[in-house]
Amino acid sequence: MKKYLTSVIAIHNVEGKLGKWPGPIIEAESFEAAQEWCLKNTQYLFVEQEIMEARKEDDTDFQLN
């Protein structure tokens, strides 16, 4: 399953300024499914982007998953 970074936009409780903060990582089959999960379960999170992983296979090559 793919992983997606979420965010929330809210007013800072001390400074009183509007800001954007990272939310939890969502696992879903697609960007749309991750966004649907956010709307259904939180009403305030939104999906930023898919998280890509880089794994080191040996000393010279990297593989994106």
Provide the residue ranges of all domains of the chain, joining segments of one domain with +: 2-64
How do residues 23-57 score in pLDDT, each as one tens digit? Answer: 999 999 999 999 999 999 998 999 999 999 877 76
Query: Would you give the end-to-end CA distance of the chain in angstroms?
Result: 11
pLDDT at 53: 81
- pTM value is 0.74
pLDDT at 15: 92
pLDDT at 61: 60
pLDDT at 44: 93
Query: CA 47 → CA 8, 14, 15, 52, 58, distances in Å?
Result: 9, 25, 25, 14, 33
